[in-house]
Amino acid sequence: MQLSTKHLLGIRDLHAQDIQLILDTATQFKEVLQRPIKKVPSLRDVTIVNLFYENSTRTRISFELAEKRLSADTINFTASGSSVSKGETLLDTVNNILSMKVDMVVMRHSASGAPHFLAKHIPAIIVNAGDGINEHPTQALLDAFSIREKLGTLEGKKIAIIGDIMHSRVALSNIYLLQKMGAEVTVAGPPTLIPKYIQEALGVRVEYDVKKALQWCDVANILRIQLERQNQVLFSSLREYNLAFGVSKKMLDELDKEIFVMHPGPINRGVEIDSDVADSKQSLILQQVENGVAVRMAVLYLLAGQRETAE
């Protein structure tokens, strides 16, 4: 049993059995993380560079911890404070790092497709930790893992993705993954933040009324308003966005069922999600973060395990 791909560039390239394998392996790693010594020697002989061209808290710490728990050697690279500011290109930077004998590259970049470009030009294994507005595969995997943990399966479940769909790599990866695993997806939010032809292109339902989306779903994945990626006015103010599309405790209490609420972080409290929702019992936000380490351990372990056969 092994993955059908050499790199993890996006969920789009994965088959359902790859996703199943990653989630099943992550379950075993989650058990490792409950032990007194939370470390296994699996990747003793592997060196990994974390290449972060864009800011990150959770993903970077989570990957680094996953690598350390697997006994891999790690190097951290952040664009600020490096020779990138002197004009070194992405390919030159990576080739210089690889000449120091690095096996895997975990990469985040603000340009969509940057990891795909690297995978074509360098021999190392690439793991995409978020590229522009394209994909964030490990986030989708840990979201799926968290849903599966709560609901037992993804098959036939209804997931609403609410918020800034247009600029969200988390949304795209989640849509691919959930559909491959047999779940139904609705995207909800203001029309200006939902791509026009998403229903035709990806086969998701579109809903402009957040209350209706909440009533329909088993799990609501609420996304952050990505102010840093918006160069035009897509809604009038954060306050107004909150009133029309933010998820409040009152909305959840008015439903005739109990749903789970997720958020990939960082949270804008009082914008897309109210504090009392984020901190409620229905919220899986911190469990998502916890599961992130186990899921990333599974991804790194499975990719590293097929180095020899892949090369």
Partner 1 sequence: MVKILDTYQLDLTIRRLAHQLIENHYPFTNTCFIGMQPRGLQVSDKIIGYIKELYPEVQLHYGKLDITFYRDDLRSGLHVPTITDIPFSIEGKKIVLIDDVLYTGRTIRAAMDALIDFGRPAKVELVVLVDRKFDRQLPIQPDYVGKSIDSIITQKVKVIWGEEPHVVLY
Our finding on whether 32 is near partner 1 (CB under 8 A) is yes
Whole-angstrom Cα distance, residue 198 to residue 206? Answer: 8
Q: Smallest distance from the beta carbon of 178 to partner 1, in angstroms?
A: 23
Q: Would you give the distance in Å from CA 81 to the centre of its chain?
A: 26
Our finding on whether 310 is near partner 1 (CB under 8 A) is no
Give the residue, chosen from 8, 23, 40, 63, that forms a contact with partner 1 under the rule CB under 8 A: 40
Residues 1-20 that bind partner 1 (CB under 8 A): 1-2
Q: Smallest distance from the beta carbon of 303 to partner 1, in angstroms?
A: 10
Our finding on whether 302 is near partner 1 (CB under 8 A) is yes
Q: Give the residue among 262, 38, 26 at the shortest CA–CA distance from 141.
A: 26
Give the residue, chosen from 15, 17, 45, 57, that forms a contact with partner 1 under the rule CB under 8 A: 45
Output 40 or 122, the one with its CB closest to partner 1. 40
Our finding on whether 309 is near partner 1 (CB under 8 A) is yes
Whole-angstrom Cα distance, residue 206 to residue 215? Answer: 14
The H or E element that residue 242 is part of is: helix 238-245
* Window of 28-36, 60-68, 237-245, 249-257 that interacts with partner 1 by CB under 8 A: 28-36
Q: Smallest distance from the beta carbon of 306 to partner 1, in angstroms?
A: 6
Whole-angstrom Cα distance, residue 124 to residue 100? Answer: 12
Our finding on whether 31 is near partner 1 (CB under 8 A) is yes
Output 160 or 303, the one with its CB closest to partner 1. 303
| E strands in the chain | 47-52, 73-78, 104-109, 125-131, 158-162, 184-188, 205-207, 219-222, 260-262
Total Cβ atoms within 10 A of residue 239: 11
Half-sphere exposure for 11 (CA within 13 Å, toward CB): 29
Q: Summarize as ranges the residues that interact with partner 1 (CB under 8 A).
A: 1-2, 21, 24-25, 28, 31-32, 35-37, 39-43, 45, 301-302, 304-309
